[in-house]
Amino acid sequence: MKVLITGGAGFIGSNFIRYAMRAHGEWMIVNVDKLTYAGNLANLAEVAGNPRYRFHRADICDAEAVGRIFSEELPDAVINFAAETHVDRSIDDPSMFLKTNILGTQVLMEAARKCGVARFLQISTDEVYGSLGATGRFSEDSPLRPNSPYAASKTAADLLVRAYFKTYGLPTLVTRCSNNYGSYQFPEKIIPFFVTLLHEGKPVPVYGDGMNVRDWIHVDDHSRAVDAVLLRGRPGQVYNVGGGNERTNIEITKLLLGAMGKDESHMRFVPDRPGHDRRYAIDDTKIRTELDVVPQIPFKEGLDATVRWYLENEAWWRAVKSGEYQTFYDRWYKDRQNRDVP
C-alpha cells in the first residue's frame, strides 16, 4: 500500500511516519510538505534513507504541483496532516490558515478524486466543537462552534470533506483529536514552550486565570488511532480521539515546574488569549467500541518521558529556536543531488 502523507515534517505527521514505517513493513510512504516554519526534516532523520520513504517539497494549495505528485505517485490512501496549527498565530493573521487549511484540503481532495484513492483521511481537531462549560463532553454529533480563526478554518475543511463524500463519493474519513504532547513538538505549544523556557531560567506565561482545561493525549496514542481509522474506519464517518485526561493549564504548569525543579515564582499570569476556549473534553466511545482504540500511555509517565526528551535533545530545540533547522532542507537537497550524480 502506498500512503501519501501531507505535513509529515511537522509534530504529529512525523510521529505518524516514524510509527508507520515500523508498524507496516509493506507500506511505501510519500511525504508532501511545504516546510513552513513548523516543518522540520530533522524530525524524519530516522527514515530519510529508507527506500520505502520519499519526500516531495510542495504546497498543498498548489494544484499543479499536487496534481503532478498524485499522478506520479498514484497513492492508495491519503492522510492530510498539513495545516497551520497555532491558535495564537491565527489570531495575529488568519489569512494563511484559510489558504492552507481550507483551500489546501480542497486541492488535495480534488487530486485524490481524480486518481481514485481508496481512503482520504482528514486530520481534524476537537477545536471545531468550540468550548464546554464545567460539564459534558464533545461527541461526534456535537454542534460545530469554532471560536478561533484556526478552529473556523479546520471546521470549514471538515464541512468540505463531508461535501466531497456526499457529492462525489470520495471515501473520506475524519479524526478529531484533543491536545497532543510528546517529542518533536514545535516549542510554541504550551508543553515544549514551558519546558524550554524553564530550562533557560525564564518565567512561563500562563494566559488569563490558568483554569482553562485541555484533554491531553500522547502523540503515539494519536498515531495508533489514525492508523486504525485509516485501515478500519467507515467512509463518511467522523471519529473523536481523546486522552480521557483533563487538566487545567495551572496543573500542567505546576507539573512542569516540578519536573524542572523550579518553584512557582517562575509562573507569570499574563493577559488572556482572545476568544480562549474554556474547556475541551472528548467522548471517544465511538472509536473505542467500533475500532477498539484506547489510549495506552498514562499521562504522568508520558509527560515525564517528554520532559526528559526535551532535556536530552537540547540541540533539536535550540536549532528550532535559532531558525537553523530551516537550512536542513538545503543540506538534504544538496546531498541528494550529489548522490544522484554517478
Name the residue type at position 181: Y
- Between residue 42 and residue 81, which ones bind ligand NAD under the rule CB under 6 A? 59-61, 81
Q: Are 282 and 241 in contact (CB under 8 A)?
A: yes
Contacts of 257 (CB under 8 A, 6+ apart): 198, 204, 263, 264, 266, 267
Among 33, 84, 126, 221, the active-site one is 126
Q: Are 122 and 172 in contact (CB under 8 A)?
A: yes
Name the residue type at position 278: R
| 26 assigned to active site | no
Q: How many CB atoms lie within 10 A of CB 326?
A: 16
Q: Does 186 bind ligand NAD (CB under 6 A)?
A: yes
Give the x-and-dash track for 316-335 against ligand DAU (CB under 6 A).
--------------------
Residue 185, SS3? coil
**Considering beta carbons, is residue 100 or 172 the nearer one to ligand NAD?**
100
- Between residue 196 and residue 255, which ones bind ligand NAD under the rule CB under 6 A? none
Give the x-and-dash track for 90-129 against ligand DAU (CB under 6 A).
-----------------------------------xxx--
**Considering beta carbons, is residue 67 or 208 the nearer one to ligand DAU?**
208
Name the one residue in this structure whose C-alpha cell is 457529492.
Answer: 167
Q: What is the largest CA-CA distance in the chain?
A: 65
> Which CA distances in Å does 313 have to 184, 191, 307?
9, 15, 10
Give the x-and-dash track for 111-140 against ligand NAD (CB under 6 A).
------------x-x---------------
As a residue count, the chain comes to 342
| 126 assigned to active site | yes
Give the x-and-dash track for 17-56 against ligand DAU (CB under 6 A).
----------------------------------------
DSSP run (H or E) holding 123: strand 119-125
> Which CA distances in Å does 282 have to 131, 137, 218, 251, 279?
11, 5, 14, 19, 10
- Between residue 166 and residue 195, which ones bind ligand DAU under the rule CB under 6 A? 178-179, 189-190, 193
Please pick, from the candidates 41, 44, 82, 204, the single residue that binds ligand NAD as defined by CB under 6 A: 82
Residue 169, SS3? coil
| 292 assigned to active site | no
The distance of closest approach from Cβ of residue 90 to ligand NAD in the complex, given in angstroms and rounded to an integer, is: 11
Among 33, 59, 84, 127, the active-site one is 127
Grid coordinates in use for 173? Answer: 474519513
Q: Which does 245 bind (CB under 5 to 8 A by kind): ligand DAU, ligand NAD, none?
A: none
Q: How many amino acids of this chain bind ligand DAU (CB under 6 A)?
A: 19
Annotated catalytic residues are: 126-127, 150
